[in-house]
A and B are shown apart, each in its own frame.
Chain A
Amino acid sequence: MAETAYTGRISVDPITRIEGHLRIDVEVKDGIITSAWSSAQLFRGLEMIVLGRPPEDVHHYVQRACGVCTNSHSLASIRAVENAVGVKPPPAAELVRHLILGMLNIHDHLVHFYHLHALDFFDMATALKADPVAAAKLATQVSGREVPPGDYFMVQAKLKKFVESGQLGWLTNAYFLGGHPSYRLTPEENLIMAANYLEGLRVQVKLARAWAIFSGKNPHAQTMQVGGVTCYESLKPERLAEFKALFEECIPFLKHNYMGDLVLIGRRYPEACIYGRTTNFMDFSDFHDPETGKNPAFRGGVMWKRNLKQVEEFDPKALKEDVTRSWYKTTEAKHPYEGSTEPVPGEFDPSGKYSWVKAPRYKGESVETGPLARQAIAYARGDKATTTFMNAWLSACSLKPENMFSTVGRTAARMVETLVLIDLINGWHKDLTARAKHPDVEIYKPWKMPDKARGVGYVVAPRGGLSHWIRIEGGKTANYQMVVPSTWNLGPRCAAGKPSPVEESLVGNPVADPERPVEILRTVHSYDPCIACAVHVIHAGGEKTFKVL
């Protein structure tokens, strides 16, 4: 597929439009990537900072691991402590948390697609050449949502004014400027995407407004506490109605524009619906029944070798973290409860150590986590909502189920997950509204901190399965571990030389223009990297060994 037969090394640093600091290096032969290295470039040390602090306070600190997936770390921490102290929040509190986590996932997927990823596929400058009437007709047809051509005249006028100002701002040096062989959308399709990029910016504000009714503010929720939530005021009828009205206003964009745009991309980039795949998948369960704590709406599991006919249960004991290729003193791979870590800060060395991220492995294998893993597992289990939305996208693009295992498929899985979540959120909201009618509805349950305990909290975060592990001694945090999605997806190789999912999926990608390697961005962005989350436990000084459970 490559237009030039480039052979050599390409280093992209910084990778932009992600959370955190990431460098990607690839080896290219005849225009095709043959090898890749993923390297995290920042260390903060949050897990050390929480040591000795009250366990019930830790969620405030670790939530600051990431302002993008914000509430997921808070919730994982709270669940770990609740697991350790043995408290189950009242059902209404669980529903508030479901709504917060559900809104987080939807919001994150929307912003990821339009504002962090879409510029890898569409060319905003070429949108100026489009016929707005033809574009409106196409958009109406693809999305099923009527677009008045006047809208597109206005978007074009806004873009024109911006481009003619001569100050391209955040589009300066974009890979698509001046034309790029790997950008394939027509001017009309580019105009549709540009309009949705702008409208998406407005929709995400509204989603966050609805979400903050329960979280208190966004980003960084403050209402979730060990034992429940604090937001009695959010359960008033007018506040529940306010949420409902705001959410309803966002749904047409999510259902029609988001799906329609993934269809445009799936049709124009068929090769990116083949390359970018990985082999094994894993994710956790979440959104359990608020009364019983059973029957999760998202049911986790493990899938080997892209086998859509078989899913097995996740076994927490089969997880080990390898540091052979990370900037730590090499030891054998260990479970998070048993490992010890000693940092060895160094330079990027592709044949040795090259990242701050560790390499987690499940049963010794590299596994991908995230919306694709979740939706593929749900698809394999025959989940009705997932199957309906995934098949709708696949058939609109003339693709087969195996095409979900690809760069574009990974991105489409987020859209499918968003559509699945819409109905779930409406259901939780309805349930909460009914419970909130009781004047004495409980949202917080008191608990007592034990002297000694340990616990784990699992969350389906926007980027995949997230787990926090805490050990409590003397009523304080004695040890803390975060095993996060981007560690699984964007880590380095392990002792056995097995590449991480992102490293595996870059192999076989074409690179049309080594100066502007947009194909690398497409595949890397398809994971929605969150590097601040991924870099964890090390001791900065390096002068002593930091023990991990």
Chain B
Amino acid sequence: MSSSLRVSAKLLDRQLEGGRMSRRDFMKFCGIVAAAMGMPAAFAADVALALETKKRPSVIYMHGAECTGCTEALLRSIDPYIDTLIMEVISLDYCESIMAAAGHAAEKALEKAMKNPEGYFCTIEGAIPMKQGGVYGKVGGETMLSLFSRVAGGAKGVIAMGTCASYGGVQAAAPNPSGAVGVGEAFAAMGIKPINISGCPPNPINFIGTVVHLLTKGMPELDAVGRPKMFFGSTVHDKCQRRKHFDAGEFAPSFQSKEAREGWCLHLLGCRGPYTFNNCPTAQFNQSNWPVRAGAPCLGCSEPGFWDQYAPFNRDVLMKGEKA
């Protein structure tokens, strides 16, 4: 507190961190998103132009059978921070997790957003319970199945946020008590093909990059299971920092081993990285870590059906099903 230099540095830090984004920050965000999308640096200017000159596009964010972890992941975004996202990039017109209105006022906000003459994008977090007509999940007295079919059906585009919305997720694991399925499966008959941003949780940059792509260049190219190739084009194994140990045949045999301590490959401990398409090693989580770096084998959380097909966890794929 005594040195004036320290105070001014602190002040600068607070202005950057305290919710006041400058033009410079905005351009930095555009550049980072362009890079995450695999675009050349010059594309940042296109991103900025597209985001600044348009009326903020309306986004309706629905919560189905979920844990709100995807929303939490989105709250951790820094490119841009969430306040910049919802105040300067998109208009988040319905999102139960953070919206001010409740009850009838919330329902009216949803109706209003759905009547927007300029249309809206629909994001769904969570699976959709289908059993017995969907009675196991309701919002405002209406089943999620019915409500989401209306919201997604009228949208300009649908994003499935996270593995539950993409493929059913944890509640769809055997015996799938509520008959939960992903958005694409639930509404296939309506011709709805969502963009799947899978992951448990998904990396927020993959959601933001997809939104920016939709706003600037339209529909991104998708892989066979509906994920944008720009984020899900290579496996976790491909760019893993422990890859050199795999290539050298250096595997940690157990969590207490010297090899685990020294950061060797987790393949024998059940790492599903070679079979999992996602950008975790390069994008990282929370700007500070990702599971394999922290010694935890990849669970394969962005793959369809991983809760059953990649389980049991923490054992070599060759021993899968055997008792460790």
Q: A16 and B286: CB pair below 8 A?
A: no
Considering the complex, which residues of chain A in the window 178-229 have a beta carbon less than 8 Å from any beta carbon of chain B? Answer: 195, 198-199, 201-206, 208-220, 222-223, 225, 227-229
- The answer to the question of A233 belonging to the interface, with a C-beta cut-off of 8 Å to chain B, is yes
Quick check: A170 and B100 within 8 Å, CB to CB? yes
- B257 CB, nearest partner CB in chain A, Å: 9
**Do A222 and B170 touch across chains, with their CB atoms under 8 A apart?**
no
Q: For the complex, what is the distance from the CA of A61 to the CA of B102, rounded to whole Å?
A: 30
B65 CB–A CB distance under 8 Å: yes
Contacts of B113 in A (CB 8 A): 172
> Are A48 and B139 touching (Cβ within 8 A)?
no
Query: Which of B34-42, B183-191, B212-220, B311-319 lies at the interface with chain A?
Result: B311-319
In the complex, residue of chain B having the shortest beta-carbon distance to the beta carbon of A153? B20
Q: Does A291 interact with chain B (Cβ within 8 Å)? A: no
B260 within 8 A of A: yes
Note all chain B residues with C-beta closer than 8 A to A60: 299, 313
Which of B11, B131, B261, B287 sits near A540, CB closer than 8 Å? B131
Stretch of B88-96, B149-157, B232-240, B243-251 lying at the A interface: B88-96
Contacts of A17 in B (CB 8 A): 96-100, 102
A67 adjacent to B18 (CB under 8 Å): no
Most buried by B among A161, A201, A538: A201
Chain A residue with the shortest CB-CB distance to B287: A209
Say whether A140 faces chain B, with CB atoms less than 8 Å apart: no
B17 within 8 A of A: yes
Partner of A219, one of B99, B201, B260, B323: B201
Q: Is A173 an interface residue (CB 8 A)?
A: yes
A178 CB, min distance to chain B CBs, angstroms: 12
Query: B residues 27-82 with Cβ under 8 Å of A?
Result: 55-56, 58, 63, 65-73, 75-78, 81-82
Asked if A381 is at the interface (CB within 8 A of a chain B CB), the reply is no
Q: Which residues of chain B have C-beta atoms less than 8 A from A175's C-beta? A: 100-102, 105
A30 to B296 Cα, complex, angstroms: 58
Interface size band for A: 35 or more
Q: Is the CB of A222 within 8 A of B256?
A: no
Contact A233 B293, beta carbon cutoff 8 Å: yes
Residues of B within 8 A of A64 (CB): 67, 69, 169-170, 200
Question: Shortest distance in angstroms between A484's beta carbon and chain B's nearest beta carbon?
Answer: 13
Would you call B224 an interface residue if the criterion is a C-beta within 8 Å of the partner chain's C-beta atoms?
Answer: no
A541–B131 touching, CB < 8 Å: yes
Q: Given the known A-B contacts A17-B97, A67-B72, are A173 and B106 also in contact in the complex, defined by CB atoms under 8 Å?
A: yes
Q: How far is the CA of A68 from the CA of B285 in the complex (A)?
A: 16
**Does B140 sit at the interface, judged by CB under 8 A?**
yes
Q: Within B107-145, which residues are at the interface with A (CB < 8 Å)?
A: 108-109, 112-113, 129, 131-132, 135-141
Contact-residue size bin, chain B (C-beta under 8 Å from the other chain) = 35 or more
- Within the assembled complex, what's the spacing in Å between the Cα atoms of A353 and B94? 30
Query: B250-293 toward A: CB 8 Å interface, digit per residue (1/0)?
Result: 00001110001101000000000000000000000111111101
Tell me whether B93 and A232 are in contact (CB under 8 A).
no
Asked whether B101 lies within 8 Å of A172 as measured between CB atoms, the reply is yes
Residue B226 is within 8 A (CB to CB) of chain A in the complex: no
* Residues of chain B lying within 8 A (CB to CB) of residue A54: 312, 323-324
Q: Which of A1-41 contact B (CB under 8 A)?
A: 11-21, 41
User: Chain B's nearest CB lies how many Å from the CB of A71?
Assistant: 11
Flag if A49 contacts B171 (CB, 8 Å). yes
**Which B residues are in CB contact (< 8 Å) with A234?**
289, 294
Report yes or no: A195 in contact with B19, Cβ–Cβ below 8 A: yes
A167 touches B56 (CB 8 A): yes
Give 15 A-B contacts (CB < 8 Å), ordered by A residue.
Answer: A13-B139, A14-B140, A17-B100, A42-B137, A64-B169, A148-B11, A161-B87, A162-B88, A167-B58, A173-B108, A215-B294, A222-B291, A345-B136, A449-B323, A516-B105
B-binding residues in A (CB < 8 A): 11-21, 41-46, 48-49, 53-54, 56-57, 60-61, 64-68, 70, 111, 115-116, 119, 124, 148, 151, 154-155, 158, 161-162, 165, 167, 169-176, 195, 198-199, 201-206, 208-220, 222-223, 225, 227-234, 242, 345, 442, 444-446, 449, 475, 515-517, 521, 532, 538-541
Across the A-B interface, the 7 shortest Cβ-Cβ residue pairs: A67-B69, A198-B19, A45-B177, A230-B295, A174-B100, A216-B294, A217-B285
Given A68-B69, A155-B18; 4 other pairs, CB 8 A cutoff: A172-B112, A173-B105, A202-B18, A230-B255
